[in-house]
Amino acid sequence: MVDGVASLRLDRRFAGWALAWTAISLVSFGLVTAIIPNPVFGRQIPPEPFAYWVWLASAPLMGLVGATYSAPLRDPAPPVAAPLGPAATAMAMPVAAADDRNGSTVGTIAGLGAFLAIGCPVCNKLALVLLGTSGALTIWAPLQPIIGLASLLLLAGTLAWRLRARRSGGACAA
């Protein structure tokens, strides 16, 4: 993993994409959850301190994960010739495609978890409908720090997965 991180430091395109995705994540999540005050979205309950930490920690992780999808591969692996025939075609399917799909699903769930963790507990319509106002405050609000921590761990795991796939040449090329 150290070699992969060292090679990423030298890749300016990857760093540029990571900064762009980090800024997009930071601003979009901050505006929609009203951590950044704005006239469109509001909060009925001020953000808890953990919400700021989850917001600030998840944005760079989402930025790095997004960059693994957006930044072109530095030295793509040469294509491998597949043997002819239907059975050989099935054997020639890259394993990275299935890994990439699973990494995308985990990353999406992690991003949704970060969003739910930093949002206002009473503004979450699903929690409000299922639990009511008092339930959203007494049941959902105490779960938000746990959801935030879980989403950060899933984002870190997704990032490690994507960097490993990128280093081996199995990540999708832009």
Q: What H or E segment, with its residue span, contains residue 126?
A: helix 125-135
- 99-130: per-residue pLDDT in tens? 455 567 888 899 999 999 998 888 888 888 88
The pTM of the full predicted model, rounded to 2 decimals, is: 0.76
From the number of C-beta atoms within 10 Å of its C-beta (0-12, 13-18, 19+), residue 140 rates as buried
Q: Residue 60: CB partners within 8 Å, gap ≥ 6?
A: 18, 22
SS3 1: coil
Q: What is the pLDDT of residue 130?
A: 87
Neighbours of 35 (CB within 10 A): 22
